[in-house]
Chains A and B, each alone.
Chain A
Amino acid sequence: MAVIVRIPTPLRSLTGGAEEVQLEDVANVSEVIDTLETRHPGMKDRLLDDKGVRKFVNIYVGEEDIRFLEGLRTAVKDGEHISIVPAIAGG
């Protein structure tokens, strides 16, 4: 089972510039983040704090914000796209 994680520009320094990362054998968002951390150290700290997903980061499974699903326990299905949307400033 594979899912595709879309990496936003501010985090691509951790993925060697990769815009997408394909992950195998992950059942929920928490496992997605753990696997991302294993392959791209530093990612977990950018996404989570001790209370869960950081306040200025949104994680979507498909088109839905995981805050309105089951949070980090939200299940991911084969072929699913996971998007990370951080707050950005600038203009």
Chain B
Amino acid sequence: MGMTRRPIARDQATIAILGVGGLGAPAALALAHAGVGKLILIDDDEVDRSNLHRQILFRDADVGRPKLQATADALARRGLSTKTELREGRLDPMHTELLAGADVIVECSDNFATKFLSADAARLRRVPIVHGAAIRWIGTALAVGPEGGPCYRCLFEDIPPGAQAGCDIAGVVGPVCGVIGALQAHLALQALEGDAAFGTLATLDGLRDELRVRRIRARADCALCGSHPTIDAIDAARYHPAEE
């Protein structure tokens, strides 16, 4: 895959991190230490004590504080040059402007609706996105280019039906989040340089100490980035899981 975009200097780049939790915290840390110019942090949650084992920027004293402010403070204590912009809110179909201004989006949300919505919004905005997920001992990271081909919907076509167990119910091992969040940061930095990372799917099995990296393929009939895409706007009805 050749480079179709101009490389973006790291210190001039703006990267949005959607969700500053288990994945977003290590991703933010790595990107700030890498010298990224600005991080847009998006979240609407408060720090809970149950977060602390994996959300590594937070301390006991942060319990009850907004995650955005606690993240910004933790990064500021390190004295890094990276600027932070805090956008309080939850990505929903009426508020995709939360992603505006990003050169790359790092998707660290904890639910399928947000993952599919951010995939669609990134594609419609022609912005690269790096998806991440972690549960129990497994995690995945997927880098998607501004034109898709392949995209998240090439890999997973639609939201799984029924309620899905998230980390709050199923649990997640802290270091799995650390590895995946760091991988997301790594892929986001690659996305600033060129197109080489796009289509890379990394899957970590923490119980087997196995990291598999595959190149996924675009689906010609993908609703988002295929040859005849049907998703050309954000439609709120698309982000509810079907009944089982």
Contacts and interface: CB of A to CB of B under 8 A. Distances in A.
A50 to B, nearest CB: 13
A19 B208 contact: yes
Interface in B63-118: 108-112, 115
Contacts of A8: 138
A65 B214 CA distance: 10
A91 B108 contact: yes
A67 B159 CA distance: 18
B145 interface: no
B216 A89 contact: no
Interface string B4-44: 00000000000000010111100000000000000000000
A88 B157 contact: no
Interface in A4-26: 8-10, 19
Contacts of A85: 140, 203
A55 interface: yes
Contacts of A54: 160
Interface in B165-203: 165-167, 170, 172, 177, 180, 203
Chain B: interface residue count, which band? Answer: 35 or more
Given A9-B136, A60-B214, A65-B217, A91 B110 contact: yes
B122 interface: no
A89 B112 contact: yes
B239 interface: no
A2 to B, nearest CB: 20
Given A60-B214, A89-B166, A55 B135 contact: no
B37 to A, nearest CB: 24
Nearest to A57: B156
A interface, how many residues as a size bin? 20 to 34
B125 interface: no
Contacts of B230: none
Interface string B199-215: 00001010110001010
A39 B41 CA distance: 47
B177 A56 contact: no
Interface in B130-147: 132-140
Nearest to A68: B217
- Top 3 closest A-B pairs, CB basis? A90-B135, A55-B157, A91-B23
Interface of B: 19, 21-24, 108-112, 115, 132-140, 155-160, 164-167, 170, 172, 177, 180, 203, 205, 207-208, 212, 214, 216-217, 219
Interface of A: 8-10, 19, 54-56, 58, 60, 63, 65, 67-68, 83, 85, 87-91
8 contacts: A9-B137, A55-B160, A87-B133, A87-B160, A88-B140, A90-B133, A91-B108, A91-B167
